[in-house]
Amino acid sequence: MIGVGKPKQYGNVLDKPLSRGRQEVSLSAFAFLFSELVQYNQTQVDNIAELERRLEDAGYAVGARVLELLCHRDKGNRRETRLLGILSFIHSTVWKVLFGKVADSLEKGTEHEDEYMISEKELLVNRFISVPKDMGAFNCGAFVAGIVRGVLDGAGFPAVVTAHFVPIEGQQRPRTTILIKFAEEVLRREARLG
Amino acid sequence: MIVCVAVVGHQNNPLYLQSFTGSDDALKLHHIVHCSLDVIDERVNNPKRSASTLNETFLGLLYPTENYKVYGYLTNTKVKFIMVTTDLDVKDADVRSYFRKFHAAYVDAVCNPFHVPGKKITSNSFSERVGTIVRSFGPSMTL
């Protein structure tokens, strides 16, 4: 869980509690590390699409490991085989473990059958990032999109996941939407399972 | 007594294979593991009962051969754990708790940032942990 706070200092190591302790990482440590990740990738690429792809690949590795870890920790004996099952798993469990809260909303796309959207008012990774105007529609949420893609791929639901800004009237900062587009075979399998 | 453990990836590629008896039996055990992959595929793709068992992780006794029993376990990412044992009267609860510990060791090995998913697991600490878990398998196990 990512949260803000300083760990309590103990004078004597024998005074530390035996429990597992709060599973938190300081937000500022993560923000610095993430900004360094973005800056490092920026020096390696020539254009925006490549930068987004690299962030997504970094997120993919995280997503694969998060899936293994969470399935062992929380899920007991169940394995997700249904589309809605894996989507609600991402929307609540994965989000809660990574960002400390469930995602704001999960919607089904209206134009296409295979599109789903997870929306968030302000992605945690974007909190201390403002994108300069000349970078256009670049969104550091590509990292989170990569995480979602890693989880879906590991669970057997190949998909294309992207992050977009959706401007909302009445608010200065646009809302972020993670768009999930499932592959053909997932829909066919889902139809077959009934 | 467990004689062989194996981890097989989701494309049936071997990720980890370890036998705990003399090396002359090792090839036969590898062959048994390979055959049990077919049984797993059949169980996963054609569920015998209703949909409630469609997504169980513990697959149970796969098949008994002449003096071995083979147990299987399927994780959420289609990674399979296979365990070959020579015990005749092994309890279900023992096998389940063995697989739980094994799954914990596997998750720790995968969380290593230097581990490439799909490649063999080369971590020494994973091998040691598996060795400890295997040695403590038995009816006297408590969790």
Question: Minimum mean pLDDT among A41-45, A118-122, A139-143, B136-140: which range?
Answer: B136-140
Per-residue pLDDT for B99 more than 60?
yes
Q: How sure is the predictor about A129, in pLDDT bands with cuts at 50, 70 and 90?
A: confident
- Which stretch, A56-60, A82-86, A125-129, has highest mean pLDDT? A56-60
Query: Which DSSP string do the residues of B60-87 spell out, in sequence order?
Result: EEEEE-SS-EEEEEE-TTS-EEEEEE--
Q: How sure is the predictor about B46, in pLDDT bands with cuts at 50, 70 and 90?
A: low
Q: Are B55 and A76 in contact (CB under 8 A)?
A: no
Torsion region of A187: left, alpha or beta (phi above 0 gives left; psi -120 to 50 gives alpha): alpha
**Which pair of tokens denotes residue A82?**
């249904």
Q: Which of chain B's residues have a Cβ under 8 Å away from the Cβ of A61?
A: 113, 117
Q: Do the chains contact at A79 and B103, CB–CB below 8 Å?
A: no
The residue of chain A with its CA nearest to that of B112 is A65
pLDDT (tens digit, 9 = 90+) per residue, A20-79? 556 677 888 888 888 888 888 888 888 888 888 888 898 998 898 888 888 877 656 567
- Which stretch, A1-5, A148-152, B44-48, B62-66, has highest mean pLDDT? A148-152
CB atoms closer than 10 angstroms to residue A105 = 13
Exposure string (b/e) for A29-40, b if CB count within 10 Å is 16 or more?
ebbeebeebbee
Q: Do the chains contact at A68 and B111, CB–CB below 8 Å?
A: yes
Kindly report the backbone phi and psi dihedral angles of residue B20, in degrees, each rounded to the nearest multiple of 5, phi listed first: -115, 25
Per-residue pLDDT for B4 more than 60?
yes
* Percent of chain A with pLDDT strictly greater than 70: 86
* Percent of chain A with pLDDT strictly greater than 90: 3
Provide the mean pLDDT of chain B. 78
Q: Is A155 on the interface with B (CB under 8 A)?
A: yes
Of B55, B56, B113, the CB nearest to A80: B55
Q: Do the chains contact at A72 and B103, CB–CB below 8 Å?
A: yes
Residue of A5, A145, A156 whose CA lies nearest to A71: A156
Write out A15-40 in H/E/C secondary structure. Answer: HCCCCCCCCCEEHHHHHHHHHHHHHH
Per-residue pLDDT for B95 more than 70?
yes
In chain B, where the domains are located: 2-135
Partners of residue B81 on adjacent β-strands: B7, B73
Q: What is the mean pLDDT of residues B114-121?
A: 82
pLDDT of res. A18: 57
- Rounded Cα distance, B136 and B101, in Å: 11
Q: Specify the CATH architecture of the domain B2-135.
A: 2-Layer Sandwich (3.30)
What sign does the CA torsion over B27, B33, B37, B43 have?
positive
Q: Is A77 on the interface with B (CB under 8 A)?
A: yes
Pairing state between β B2-8 and B14-19? antiparallel
Partners of residue B2 on adjacent β-strands: B85
What sign does the CA torsion over A32, A34, A37, A39 have?
negative
Q: Is B88 on the interface with A (CB under 8 A)?
A: no
The model carries a pTM of 0.78
